[in-house]
């Protein structure tokens, strides 16, 4: 929860997620954990630089397949 709370300050500091290419909205990721316990917190940002809303879309283990890809890809 502390990692998610940190998104209240400068959420655009986080990199674009690899899923960003598969969706129309900009999707960013916050990496949390280390090694085999690495998780990706996927989120979107709406609003401007003065007031923005962060919406958490999904929390995925780092080894999970990219969202939006078919199993055949």
Q: Are 46 and 53 in contact, with CB atoms under 8 Å apart?
A: yes
Q: How confident is the model at residue 70 (pLDDT cuts 50, 70, 90)?
A: low
Asked whether the predicted pLDDT for residue 66 surpasses 90, the reply is no
Q: What is the pLDDT of residue 68?
A: 73
- pLDDT digits 0-9 by tens, 16-32: 999 999 889 999 999 99
Helix (H, G, I), strand (E, B) or coil at 44: strand
Decide which of 64 and 70 is more confident. Answer: 64
């Amino acid at each position: 929860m502390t990692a998610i709370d940190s998104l209240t300050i400068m959420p655009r500091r986080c990199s674009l997620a690899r899923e960003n290419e598969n969706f129309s909205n900009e999707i960013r990721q916050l990496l949390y954990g280390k090694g085999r316990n690495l998780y990706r917190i996927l989120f979107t940002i709406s609003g401007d630089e003065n007031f923005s809303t962060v919406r958490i879309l999904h929390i995925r283990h780092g080894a999970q397949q990219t969202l939006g890809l078919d199993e055949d890809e």
